[in-house]
Structures are given as structure tokens and as C-alpha cells.
């Protein structure tokens, strides 16, 4: 009796219990399909890196003795659709049982659930054995509360998984959160960690992908793709991060610098989200480094909060609130993306750098995503759906379960504040404080109005002004509103007028 087991492109977990034993009656299937390359326009590196890692995974399974059916993008028998391919394979292998791991995306979960229901053979979804919390676990203790606070979830996770606790079960160092210690700009020192990633030549695969008619954007770097292709490479990267970058991760977590696209960040999200690495082992390794005295607590805690807190939390938000969550637009923002989102050609230096880097590297760190690109999109009232599609396409680590709550919720406030206590907005002053992005920019970071004024400034005040009805009572915006109210009537009128003009010329900024 043959069993067909589906492995999706973000389920490359070689330590899943499925693979513990070789069973000649089990066929594993992996497929490169247009359905998955085309549901949004993707960065070239994302398509390449996922397909290359899938191929490597399939080879490793075969080498371990498993039966594998691999459908390459250009295989004549590839119908380019998940369910049609599954139908053909079920017939070909006379399959009597179909199994799949819980997909992380709503879209695929629905598709497979529907497909499995209609099958005349038995079908089962099994756990992906990756996450540290259930899909909707937070529902049970946040209940019907409108706003879910990450910090509460995070403390619960620390206690439940006994992470960074002292002997009496209290938070190590006497505090749950060292965020306040973690806000330095980087000015050239300490030295940056070396990038030890292996670069891969995938020119042949790239040729096959383009020949199959797949559209994409961004630089493919097909001769020199820097993303890990398997667990061994991902583990090497984790070790290098812990040794060379983690000690400085905390203090420079929010910094931005034109000569340091990565700063002290981990570059581990692709390996984590494709499940080459387990969050449990990454957290354990970081905690161990702190316990061995190699890493300050503020850095270890800052990093662990991202993986044990934010990553698990946004997944819970996604699964508890989909599909409605994906359609939210609380601020009724409708503007299309300016053309420079696709080529980085804007005179605003911060955006040219952050978007330029995203297009060339398929990577930007958190503050670039949130306080440069996302901040501008929110201030300019860009359509959150268009912003979501751009983020889902451009980043190497973008899978909807993690990207959507971050973009629509945290960054665009399109959920009306379900996961944040205020919108993440700022004028030029914040961007200038956190790095060198304003240096040499043609716009004046101090000016609010006038031809050379930094567009963030007038847009910031106009955003607060136009959304006063909804945001005016938020305690965390009280200071900003008091400041706005101290502007003279003429100054307010000038800001409104300049912001309107700016919005009419977004493409040419
Ligand atoms: P590091 O700074 O080294 O952080 C360590 C790890 O913590 C990351 O690898 C990631 O797994 C996790 N992490 C950190 N912040 C978050 C967060 N807010 N939510 C979930 N996990 C987090 N992350 C994604 O993995 N995929 C996305 O599609 C994605 N889209 C984002 C969109 C926006 C608008 C914003 C503001 C953030 C987004 N993030 C996303 C979160 C974060 O920016 C990335 O996880 C991080 O930049 C990845 O780089 P790194 O591995 O160097 O991270």
C-alpha cells in the first residue's frame, strides 16, 4: 500500500519524524510549480533559493534511501498546479494514503484541506514539528480581547519553555525585556562581522526558471547566490552569527547604516522559515552562549524575544484572524505604490538605500522594513494590500503567515491597532538619529516645508492631522498631538498644503 507524502518548499525539515525511518512504501513528493511562483510577483533570489534548497533536500532524502518523486519546473509531466500534480501521482503510484504537513499559509491550508476531503483514499495532515506554540494557542488566553500584546505572550513563552530564567523561575537579570538598552546608532565601530555565507552558482537552474516563463523582479545573483541550501550551511551560519555578531546584536538592533546592510543581524530568517533550522535549537544555542559568558544578556534576550516572542506571536495572530485579517484597511489607504518601489530610484536617500538593498539582496533588516519603507508607505497612505504584496514578493524570508501581520498590522496599522499600541511613524529626525541615511541626501532633514524639505516631515504631521479622529486618543501619541496643536494656524496650513503637493508627486520624489 503506497503512501504519498507531500513536502512543500518551506518544509525542508530534515529532522521531521517522517524521515526517521526508510519505508519503501512511502513516496515523498516535492514540486516546483507555477502556482507557487506566480501567486505574487517574487524576487528572483527567493524563487532560486527555494528551488535550489528543495533540490538539495530531495537529493539528501534519496541518498538516505527514501523514495522521492521530484517535479522540476521544466518537467514535461509537471501540470504546474499542486492538486493536478497530486492527482497524477496518486494514479501513477496507485497511492492508497495521502499525507501532508500542516501548511503555514492559509491559502495552501485551505487548498489541501479541500483537496483531501474530496479524495477517495485516506488522507491526513500531520504537524510540521517546527513551532513552539500551536497555531491558535494565543486565542485561549487572549480570548476576545481586541488588542493582543506581544509582551504578554512572550513572557508566557519564556516561562512555558523555561528560557532565560534564573533558578527560582524569575527572568534572568531581573528583567523580562532589555529593549531600552538596545537603541544605539552604529558609527563605524565595533567592526562588522564577516559574511561567511557560501555563495552558490545556480545559473543553470535560473535558466530553467526563466525558460519556463516565470516572472520575477530584483537581482537574481544566479552565479553567486548567498542563501543557505541545506541544514549544514544553515548551522554554519548560526555558529558564525553567535560567535561574531550576536554579542553586538542588542545595542545595534535598531541602527541603520549605508555601508552595513546587515549590521549585526542574524540573516537566519530564510533558514528558519524554510525549516532548515528549528527555532528551539536557535534559542537554545543563543541562551547557551549567554550562560557561557560569551554574549551579554541584553543581546541574548533581544534576539530570543524576536524568535520566541515575535515570530510565534505573529503566527498566532495570523491563524487566529485569517482570512478576515488579510483584507483589513482600517485607515482606508488607497494610493498605489510609487514606481521607485520597483527600481529604488528616488532622491530620498534612505529609501533609495533600503529599497535598493531589498532589490539587490532580497534582504533588509527589521528597522529598514519598519521605519524607512513601511513608515513612508503609511505616512503616504499607500494601499496596504499593495504594500503587503510588495513585501511578500521582495524578501527572501517572506511567507504570508509571518509577513502579513508584520506588514498589514505592525507596519501599516491596517488592523486598526490589534497588535500595536500606536502606528510606527516618524519624521526624518528618527531616521537621522539611528544612522547615516540622511547624510548627503538632497532633502533637508530639518525642514518641514519648501522644495527641499524631507518628505517624511510634512507627511508625518499631515498623517496625524488627517487621522485624528481615530488616533487622537491614543496615549502614546499624546505628546505628538500636543506638539501639533502648538503649531500656529499658518504653520499647520503650510504643512497640509506641502504634504498634499508631496502626495501628488510621489513618483518623482
Ligand atoms: P534578526 O534581526 O537577526 O532577528 C532574528 C530572527 O528573529 C529573525 O530571523 C526572525 O526569524 C525573527 N524575527 C525578528 N523580528 C521578527 C518579527 N517582527 N516577526 C517575526 N519574526 C521576527 N520576517 C520574516 O521572517 N518574514 C517576513 O516576511 C517578514 N516581513 C516583515 C515585514 C515588515 C513590514 C516588518 C517590519 C518585518 C518583517 N519581518 C519578517 C520581521 C523581520 O524584519 C525579519 O524577520 C528580519 O529582518 C529577518 O532578518 P534576520 O534573520 O537578519 O533577523
DSSP 201-232: --HHHHHHHHHTT--EES---TTSB-S--SHH
* Cα–Cα distance for residue pair 90/478, rounded to 1 Å: 61
Per residue in 470-489, is it b (16+ CB within 10 Å) or e — as a string?
A: ebeebeebeebbeebeeeee
- What would the pLDDT profile of 224-235 be if each residue is shown by its tens digit? 999 999 999 999
* Cα–Cα distance for residue pair 345/171, rounded to 1 Å: 47
pLDDT of 144 > 90? The answer is: no
3-state per-residue secondary structure call for 73-87: CCCCCCCCCHHHHHH
Cell output for 83: 492538486
How much of the chain exceeds pLDDT 90, in percent? 96
Domains along the chain? 2-126 (3.40.50.620), 137-196+230-321 (1.25.40.80), 339-508 (1.10.579.10)
Compute the average pLDDT of residues 439-454: 97
Minimum-distance ligand 1 atom for the alpha carbon of 370: 36
Q: How far is the CA of 376 from the centre of ligand 1 (A)?
A: 19
Compute the average pLDDT of residues 210-235: 98
- What would the pLDDT profile of 244-264 be if each residue is shown by its tens digit? 999 999 999 999 999 999 999
pLDDT at residue 149, rounded to an integer: 87
pLDDT at residue 70, rounded to an integer: 98
Look at residues 387, 434, 380, 428 and name the one whose alpha carbon lies nearest to residue 409: 387
Minimum-distance ligand 1 atom for the alpha carbon of 411: 34
Q: How far is the CA of 108 from the centre of ligand 1 (A)?
A: 22
Confidence label for 141 from pLDDT (cuts 50, 70 and 90) = confident
**Rounded to whole angstroms, what are the CA distances from 174 to 160, 164, 215, 255, 295?**
18, 10, 52, 26, 17
Q: Report the alpha-carbon angle 96-18-50, nearest 5.
A: 100
* Cα–Cα distance for residue pair 428/438, rounded to 1 Å: 8
Q: How far is the CA of 325 from the centre of ligand 1 (A)?
A: 19
Q: How far is the CA of 366 from the centre of ligand 1 (A)?
A: 6
pLDDT at residue 180, rounded to an integer: 80
Residue located via cell numbers 534576550: 301
Q: Which sign, positive or negative, has the C-alpha torsion 136, 38, 114, 25?
A: negative
Ligand 1: lining residues by beta carbon, under 6 Å: 265-269, 272-273, 303, 306-307, 310-311, 314, 365-366, 369-370, 374, 391, 395, 397-398, 402-403, 406-407, 410-411
* Cα–Cα distance for residue pair 350/368, rounded to 1 Å: 9
Confidence label for 145 from pLDDT (cuts 50, 70 and 90) = confident
Q: Is the peptide bond before 475 cis (omega within 30 degrees of 0)?
A: no
Confidence label for 143 from pLDDT (cuts 50, 70 and 90) = confident
3-state class (DSSP) for residue 185? coil
pLDDT at residue 303, rounded to an integer: 97
- Report DSSP state, residue 110: H
256, 434 Cβ separation under 8 angstroms: yes
- What would the pLDDT profile of 79-134 be if each residue is shown by its tens digit? 999 999 999 999 999 999 999 999 999 999 999 999 999 999 999 999 999 999 99
- Choose one of 337, 402, 408, 412 to mutate for the ligand 1 pocket test, by most ligand atoms within 8 angstroms of C-beta: 402
Confidence label for 142 from pLDDT (cuts 50, 70 and 90) = confident
Protein residue with its CA nearest to atom 44 in ligand 1: 366
- Choose one of 397, 412, 425 to mutate for the ligand 1 pocket test, by most ligand atoms within 8 angstroms of C-beta: 397
pLDDT at residue 182, rounded to an integer: 72
pLDDT of 148 > 90? The answer is: no
Q: How far is the CA of 391 from the centre of ligand 1 (A)?
A: 12
**Rounded to whole angstroms, what are the CA distances from 436 to 188, 225, 347, 493?**
10, 28, 15, 31
Q: With the CA atoms of 87, 56, 364 and 300 taken in that order, what torsion angle do they form, in degrees rounded to the nearest 10? A: 110
pLDDT at residue 403, rounded to an integer: 98
**Rounded to whole angstroms, what are the CA distances from 195 to 198, 199, 248, 260, 264?**
9, 10, 15, 11, 11
Q: How far is the CA of 269 from the centre of ligand 1 (A)?
A: 7
Compute the average pLDDT of residues 146-173: 93
- Choose one of 372, 396, 406 to mutate for the ligand 1 pocket test, by most ligand atoms within 8 angstroms of C-beta: 406
- Helices 44-63 & 203-211 angle (0-180, nearest 10): 110
Protein residue with its CA nearest to atom 20 in ligand 1: 311
Q: What is the pTM of this model?
A: 0.98
Q: How far is the CA of 476 from the centre of ligand 1 (A)?
A: 24
> Alpha helix (H) ranges present in 82-230?
82-92, 106-118, 137-142, 150-160, 203-211
Protein residue with its CA nearest to atom 15 in ligand 1: 306
pLDDT at residue 140, rounded to an integer: 80
Q: How far is the CA of 410 from the centre of ligand 1 (A)?
A: 12
Protein residue with its CA nearest to atom 2 in ligand 1: 265
- What would the pLDDT profile of 390-417 be if each residue is shown by its tens digit? 999 999 999 999 999 999 999 999 999 9
* Cα–Cα distance for residue pair 455/329, rounded to 1 Å: 23
Residue 259 burial (10 A CB sphere; 0-12, 13-18, 19+)? exposed
330, 147 Cβ separation under 8 angstroms: no
Amino acid at each position: 500500500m503506497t503512501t504519498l507524502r507531500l513536502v512543500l518548499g518551506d518544509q525542508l525539515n530534515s529532522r521531521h519524524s517522517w524521515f526517521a525511518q526508510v519505508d519503501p512504501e512511502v513516496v515523498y513528493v516535492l514540486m516546483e510549480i507555477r502556482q507557487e511562483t506566480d501567486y505574487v510577483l517574487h524576487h528572483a533570489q527567493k524563487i532560486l533559493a527555494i528551488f535550489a534548497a528543495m533540490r538539495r533536500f530531495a537529493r539528501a532524502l534519496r541518498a538516505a534511501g527514501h523514495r522521492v518523486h521530484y517535479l522540476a519546473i521544466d518537467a514535461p509531466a509537471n501540470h504546474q498546479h499542486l492538486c493536478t500534480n497530486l492527482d497524477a501521482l496518486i494514479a501513477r503510484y496507485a497511492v492508497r494514503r495521502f499525507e501532508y504537513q500542516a501548511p503555514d499559509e492559509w491559502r495552501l491550508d485551505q487548498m489541501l484541506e479541500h483537496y483531501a476531503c474530496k479524495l477517495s483514499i485516506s488522507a491526513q495532515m500531520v504537524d510540521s514539528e517546527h513551532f513552539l506554540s500551536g497555531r491558535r494557542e494565543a486565542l485561549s488566553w487572549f480570548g476576545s480581547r481586541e488588542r493582543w500584546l506581544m509582551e504578554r505572550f512572550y513572557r508566557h513563552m519564556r516561562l512555558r519553555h523555561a528560557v532565560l530564567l534564573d533558578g527560582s523561575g524569575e527572568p534572568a537579570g531581573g528583567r523580562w525585556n532589555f529593549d531600552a538598552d538596545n537603541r544605539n546608532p552604529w558609527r563605524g565601530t565595533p567592526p562588522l562581522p564577516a559574511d561567511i555565507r557560501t555563495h552558490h552558482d545556480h545559473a543553470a537552474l535560473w535558466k530553467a526558471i526563466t525558460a519556463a516563463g516565470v516572472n520575477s523582479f530584483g537581482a537574481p545573483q544566479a552565479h553567486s547566490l548567498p542563501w543557505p541550501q541545506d541544514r549544514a550551511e544553515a548551522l554554519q551560519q548560526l555558529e558564525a552569527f553567535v560567535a561574531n555578531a550576536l554579542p553586538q546584536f542588542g545595542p545595534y538592533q535598531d541602527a541603520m547604516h549605508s555601508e552595513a546592510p546587515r549590521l549585526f543581524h542574524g540573516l537566519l530568517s530564510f533558514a528558519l522559515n524554510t525549516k532548515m533550522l528549528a527555532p528551539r535549537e536557535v534559542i537554545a544555542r543563543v541562551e547557551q552562549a549567554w550562560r557561557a559568558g560569551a554574549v551579554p544578556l541584553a543581546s541574548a534576550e533581544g534576539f530570543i524575544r524576536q524568535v520566541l516572542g515575535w515570530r510565534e506571536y505573529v503566527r498566532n495572530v495570523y491563524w487566529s484572524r485569517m482570512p478576515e485579517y488579510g483584507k483589513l484597511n482600517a485607515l482606508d489607504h488607497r494610493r498605489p505604490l510609487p514606481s521607485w518601489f520597483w527600481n529604488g530610484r528616488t532622491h530620498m536617500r534612505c529609501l533609495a538605500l533600503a529599497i535598493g538593498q531589498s532589490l539587490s539582496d532580497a534582504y533588509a533588516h527589521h528597522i529598514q522594513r519598519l521605519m524607512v519603507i513601511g513608515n513612508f508607505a503609511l505616512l503616504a497612505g499607500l494601499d496596504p494590500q499593495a504594500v503587503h504584496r510588495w513585501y511578500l514578493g521582495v524578501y527572501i524570508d517572506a511567507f504570508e503567515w509571518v509577513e502579513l501581520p508584520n506588514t498589514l498590522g505592525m507596519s501599516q496599522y491596517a488592523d486598526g491597532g490589534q497588535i500595536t499600541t500606536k502606528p510606527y511613524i516618524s519624521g526624518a529626525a528618527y531616521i537621522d538619529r539611528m544612522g547615516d541615511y540622511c547624510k548627503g541626501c538632497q532633502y533637508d532633514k530639518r525642514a518641514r516645508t519648501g522644495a527641499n524639505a524631507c518628505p517624511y516631515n510634512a507627511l508625518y504631521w499631515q498623517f496625524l492631522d488627517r487621522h485624528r479622529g481615530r488616533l487622537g486618543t491614543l496615549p502614546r501619541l499624546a505628546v505628538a498631538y500636543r506638539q501639533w496643536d502648538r503649531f500656529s494656524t499658518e504653520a499647520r496650513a503650510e504643512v497640509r498644503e506641502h504634504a498634499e503637493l508631496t502626495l501628488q508627486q510621489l513618483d518623482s520624489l
